[in-house]
């Protein structure tokens, strides 16, 4: 158990009892508890296995390599349409969690075996992602933008394509694309630092907020 996680669970309101019940089950599964991304994360031999989430309509166990699980009980949910690796076990009550304790642990132990065996997710390449029509349209208007996009690393291209595609409405996709044009022209990825203050270069760590406070 991690003392920082104690603070996390104490702060919860909507799903407090349910998350505590899930925590107890996970701690019986040879996992080490820590905090990553400000939420409880459970690892096996320093490999991330699952995290706990509380959402508006449910709480969930999130599996980092859930796509590799057999899911014979058909209980796993793909968090978003473009989620390639992650899958969730979702719950709405403590009663439901306790009734499915054995099932939950079977998923956990399978996830641990996946890590023991070194199995990897076969991620799509940038070429396998659909290019939104709105992005193609902008490319036709701005060839420098198109050239800059395809000069990005495949990982940065995928990040943008997922960001654009996750918008359900065409107007939102267009807005996201236009907002990203300056970053792309500067060779920056979606989460890259643009202010030069980040201590985690090239990734942004939020240091740009200091600039806003100073103005």
Third-level CATH fold of 3-116: 3.90.1150
pTM for the predicted model, two decimal places: 0.68
Per-domain boundaries in the chain: 3-116, 126-209
pLDDT at position 215: 52
pLDDT beyond 80 at 195:
no
Crossing angle, helix 143-151 and helix 133-141, to 10 degrees? 120
**Segment 168-181 mean pLDDT:** 94
pLDDT tens-digit readout, 24-63 = 999 999 999 999 989 999 999 999 999 999 999 999 999 9
Q: Which residue has the higher pLDDT, 197 or 142?
A: 142
pLDDT beyond 90 at 155:
no
pLDDT beyond 80 at 208:
no
Query: What ranges make up the beta strands (E) of the chain?
Result: 32-36, 39-44, 47-54, 59-63, 76-77, 87-91
pLDDT beyond 80 at 121:
yes
pLDDT at position 96: 98
């Amino acid at each position: 158990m991690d003392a920082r996680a104690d603070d996390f669970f104490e702060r919860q309101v909507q799903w407090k009892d349910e998350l505590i019940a899930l925590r107890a089950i996970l701690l019986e599964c040879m996992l080490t508890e820590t905090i990553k991304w400000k939420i409880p994360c459970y690892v096996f031999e320093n490999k991330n296995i699952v995290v706990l989430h509380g959402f508006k309509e449910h709480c969930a166990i999130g599996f980092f390599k859930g796509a590799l699980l057999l899911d014979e009980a058909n209980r796993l949910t793909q968090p978003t349409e473009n989620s390639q690796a992650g899958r969730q076990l979702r719950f709405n009550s403590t009663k439901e969690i306790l009734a499915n304790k054995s099932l939950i642990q079977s998923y956990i132990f399978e996830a641990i075996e996946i890590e023991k065996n070194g199995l990897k997710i076969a991620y799509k390449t940038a070429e396998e992602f659909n290019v939104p029509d709105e992005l193609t349209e902008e490319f036709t208007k701005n060839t420098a933008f198109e050239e800059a996009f395809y000069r990005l690393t495949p990982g940065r291209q995928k990040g943008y394509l997922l960001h654009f595609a996750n918008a359900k409405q065409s107007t939102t996709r267009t807005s996201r694309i236009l907002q990203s044009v300056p970053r792309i022209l500067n060779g920056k990825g979606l989460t890259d630092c643009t202010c030069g203050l980040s201590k985690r270069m090239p990734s942004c760590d939020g240091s740009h907020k200091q600039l806003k406070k100073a103005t």
